[in-house]
Amino acid sequence: MLNIALFGPPGAGKGTQSEFLIEKYKLFYISTGDILRKEIAEGSTLGLEARSIIAAGGLVSDEIIVQIIEKTIQSNPNANGFLFDGFPRTYIQAYILEGLMIKLNTALNCLISLEVDEETSVHRLLERGKQSGRMDDNEKVIRNRLREYNEKTLPVLNFYKEKGNYFAVDGSKSIEQVSADIEVIVQNELSKSLMNIVLFGYPGSGRGSQGRALAKAYGLEYIATGPMLEQEIAKKTTIGKQISQLYESGKLVPDEIVVKLIEKKLEQSKGVKGFIFKGFPRTLVQSYILDGLLKKHGSSISKVIELEVPTLELISRLDARSKTNDCMPYDTSTEKIVKRLQEHESKTVPVINKYNHLHGVSKINGMGSFEEVNQRLSEEIENAFKTLTHN
């Protein structure tokens, strides 16, 4: 879930950039004024209470506002996240929002502040006044509004500066450039909360077919070293030619080549919710490489899953696969199948044990139909998504 608070003085372009964020990241827009008017129009208990306060000339309390915001968030469980406009307005409301986010098992990813100097704001609003005919777009009123914004907003901005999730954007640039600057901030924040899954299992456990299906279902990028190497060969790239020469001489592709391809994939994949790694890491050395790669990109492993299938069933499946177009080089004889299983036992099981010690490994029964196994895996991933929060 992506949660953003967008700030900016009158004339900073907050409305335009709100539209950009909502469209780009499919966020639900929360304006305290809008949702308050909606509650009043619907005649809800909170709305009626707010209306009576307003009718008496009072200000609607934080207690009512936070209940309405909580209700709005809970009423939109399928939202990718929320864009807050007009909240928090005070230092106290900043604490209220923090507590609310904790209660809802999420967090505010960042506060983005569109910053323009006073004269730019005044000029823009005076120009807007000429077009709209709004009576409040005169210089005296504008300067009063700017002074009030600065006085009330400064403590809130300091609150998020101290937390380390405050980001300033130069709002005097063109609309397109401001949007681009905001996108860089949001993409960096998203990279910190990616769902990165390592899917383990002996050859024949169904990792490949399940990994591809899960990636498609949850908006994840599927990273499998085998297909990546084959793609380079098919494209006849420089790396592809190196790989072909290694294959022809019967040598293994070194980590240096595999890592370059994985890093390239990480850099090119934009807008994904995370990655599913199949076939990497196979060794303890590769596990340290993957940890380093993800850390370099501001991310880390979120979930480690192992598909468990009895050895005799694995041999049966691999033998059956050897008679199809999906045959792998190690499927061609029982001797090769056993050797590959032993290699997994000696090289990859220690990796699984390492991750079990660090993160905990979820063991999933790989027996049954494709749909049955997929359902078990899906439940595990959905639970992981629910607990994934940005620290």
Where do the domains of the chain lie? 2-27+79-191, 195-223+273-387
Q: Which CATH architecture has domain 195-223+273-387?
A: 3-Layer(aba) Sandwich (3.40)
- Token pair in block for residue 328: 């792998």
Q: How many CB atoms lie within 10 A of CB 346?
A: 10
Cis status, amide bond into 77, omega within 30 of 0: no
pLDDT digits (tens, 9 = 90+) for 313-368: 999 999 888 888 877 776 678 888 888 899 999 999 999 999 999 878 999 999 99
Question: Is the pLDDT score of 391 beyond 50?
Answer: no
Instruction: Please compute Rg for the chain using Cα positions.
Output: 27
Please report the pLDDT score of residue 153 as a whole number: 86
Query: What percent of the chain has a predicted confidence (pLDDT) above 70?
Result: 95
User: Rounded distance, CA 307 to CA 6, Å?
Assistant: 43
- 54-77 average pLDDT score: 89
DSSP letters along 263-303, please?
A: HHHHHH--S-SEEEEES---SHHHHHHHHHHHHHTT----E
Please report the pLDDT score of residue 133 as a whole number: 66
pLDDT digits (tens, 9 = 90+) for 217-239: 998 999 998 889 989 999 999 99
Please report the pLDDT score of residue 49 as a whole number: 92
Residue type for 92, please?
A: I
User: Rounded distance, CA 377 to CA 366, Å?
Assistant: 9
CA angle centred on 390, ends 387 and 391, rounded to 5°: 110
Q: Does domain 2-27+79-191 have CATH number 3.20.20.10?
A: no
End-to-end Cα separation, the chain, in angstroms:
13
How far is residue 345 from each of residues 15, 42, 200, 329, measured CA to CA in Å? Answer: 58, 63, 12, 18
Please report the pLDDT score of residue 127 as a whole number: 85
| Sheet with strand 303-308: strands edge to edge | 221-224, 274-278, 195-201, 303-308, 361-365
With cut-offs at 50, 70 and 90, classify the pLDDT of residue 138: confident
Contacts (Cβ under 8 Å, ≥6 apart) of 111 = 4, 5, 6, 7, 156, 157, 160, 165, 166, 167
Question: Is the pLDDT score of 82 beyond 90?
Answer: yes
Of 19-33, 171-185, 242-256, give the lowest mean pLDDT range: 242-256
With cut-offs at 50, 70 and 90, classify the pLDDT of residue 390: very low
DSSP element (H, E) containing 103:
helix 91-103
Please report the pLDDT score of residue 275 as a whole number: 94
With cut-offs at 50, 70 and 90, classify the pLDDT of residue 309: very high
Average pLDDT, the chain: 89
Please report the pLDDT score of residue 389 as a whole number: 46
User: Rounded distance, CA 71 to CA 6, Å?
Assistant: 20
Question: 3-class DSSP state for residue 108?
Answer: coil
pLDDT digits (tens, 9 = 90+) for 98-129: 999 888 878 899 999 999 999 999 988 888 87
pLDDT digits (tens, 9 = 90+) for 147-168: 988 888 888 999 999 999 999 9
- 1-6 average pLDDT score: 90
User: Rounded distance, CA 34 to CA 249, Å?
Assistant: 68
Where are the strands (E) in the chain, listed by range? 2-7, 28-31, 81-85, 110-115, 166-170, 195-201, 221-224, 274-278, 303-308, 361-365
Q: Are 214 and 375 in contact (CB under 8 A)?
A: no
